[in-house]
Each structure stands twice: as structure tokens, then as C-alpha cells.
């Protein structure tokens, strides 16, 4: 879990550097110019403002803290750590509530609440009959959206693995065409990290 969060924070910070590089060059960029990669990230659109890299770092490191509240096996019985599949969808909300209980600011706690999938709307919750209170669980700002996006490039499966754009596109499509389009819009907006380089650095497989 720790490694996953470090990876998400790393990808998130790389995306922020790309976004901020595009923003600072917005006045000098020719239309449709090909901008060299920034921090390994290619593509992306010029953002409306500079992004806070420090906030993304914190959010990336904390976004999955709620997973510790949805264990099936916590290791105390001698079994390997294992998540409850039925309750896993709750991990974002559980992390949000935990951080608030510990006195963490709402602006940080929301990274937990609002990172699942490519943004869960109230309609998604009702339509999919998810075990969540009907509400919108979507990013409230660009920094939260970056962490949500970065999270999709790495899976906590056993063994863990990196996902390229095409692999997550197939996952997103399982929840409908609208969900797939949300993902593709994020890809266009934020660009593509160098996933092969990250997979090699961490010694993990890639799909």
C-alpha cells in the first residue's frame, strides 16, 4: 500500500510539472505546437492556473489511507493482508472520515473521498447500486483530479502492476461509454506519463 501511494504521488507530481510547464509557456506556444516531454509526461492541455505540486504530493500519499478500514484479513490471524471486495468501494469515504476525525483539514481529506474511478457521480452510485450514500464523489479542484487520474496508472493487485492508457481504457469501458469518455478526456487534459520507465524503476510488470 505504501509503495502504491508513493507511485501515485510520483506520477501526480510529474503531471503537475507538465501542467505548470504548459501554463508558463502559454503565451509563447504556437497553436498546436509539439512541446517536448516534461518530467516524462507528454501531451496535455494548458491549465487555467498553476497547480500546487506540494498539495498533490500530500494527496497522493494519503489518498488510499482508508483501505486500512476495509480489510478482510489484517494479518493478525497469520493470513496475508486481504481487502474485502464488497466493502472496498467504501475505502475513499472511510479515509475521508478518518482524516477528518484526526483533525486533518477538509482540503486534504477530500483527496480520499474523491479519487475512486474517474469520478463517481450521484447518478453512478444509484445506477450501479453501490454501497455508498448517494452523493457526488468527484474531484473538487485540479489537484484532486490529478491524483484521481494518476491513481489509474497503478494497480494494487497481487502482484502489483502498472497500467498504460489502453489498459485502463478497457477497464473504464466496462462501466459504460460515458465512463470511458471521462477517462479519455482526462488523458487529453493531463497527458500521458512514461509508464514503461516507471515500471522498470519499480521492477513491476506493465499491461
User: For the segment 59-90, what is each residue's pLDDT rounded down to a tens digit?
Assistant: 999 999 999 888 766 667 777 766 667 788 99
Give the integer Cα–Cα distance in Å for 30 and 46: 12
pLDDT in tens, 93-134: 999 999 999 999 999 999 999 999 999 999 999 998 999 999
Give the integer Cα–Cα distance in Å for 6 and 11: 9
pLDDT in tens, 161-185: 999 999 999 999 998 999 999 999 9
Q: How many CA atoms lie within 13 A of 54 on its CB side?
A: 0
Amino acid at each position: 500500500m505504501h509503495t502504491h501511494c508513493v507511485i501515485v504521488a510520483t506520477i501526480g507530481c510529474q503531471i503537475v510539472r507538465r501542467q505548470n510547464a504548459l501554463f508558463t509557456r502559454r503565451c509563447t506556444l504556437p497553436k498546436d505546437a509539439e512541446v517536448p516531454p516534461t518530467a516524462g509526461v507528454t501531451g496535455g492541455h494548458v491549465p487555467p492556473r498553476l497547480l500546487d505540486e506540494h498539495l498533490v504530493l500530500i494527496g497522493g500519499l494519503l489518498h488510499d489511507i482508508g483501505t486500512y478500514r476495509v480489510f478482510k484479513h489484517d494479518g493478525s490471524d497469520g493470513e496475508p493482508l486481504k481487502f474485502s471486495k464488497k466493502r472496498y468501494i467504501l475505502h475513499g469515504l472511510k479515509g475521508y472520515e478518518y482524516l477528518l476525525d484526526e483533525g486533518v483539514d477538509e482540503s486534504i481529506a477530500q483527496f480520499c473521498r474523491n479519487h475512486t474511478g474517474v469520478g463517481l457521480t450521484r447518478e453512478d452510485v444509484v445506477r450501479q447500486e453501490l454501497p455508498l450514500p448517494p452523493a457526488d464523489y468527484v474531484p473538487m479542484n485540479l489537484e484532486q483530479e490529478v491524483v484521481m487520474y494518476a491513481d489509474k496508472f497503478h494497480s494494487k493487485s497481487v502482484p502489483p502492476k502498472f497500467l498504460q492508457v489502453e489498459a485502463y481504457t478497457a477497464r473504464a469501458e466496462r462501466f459504460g461509454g460515458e465512463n470511458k469518455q471521462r477517462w479519455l478526456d482526462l488523458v487529453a487534459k493531463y497527458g500521458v506519463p512514461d509508464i514503461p520507465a516507471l515500471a522498470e524503476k519499480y521492477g513491476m510488470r506493465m499491461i
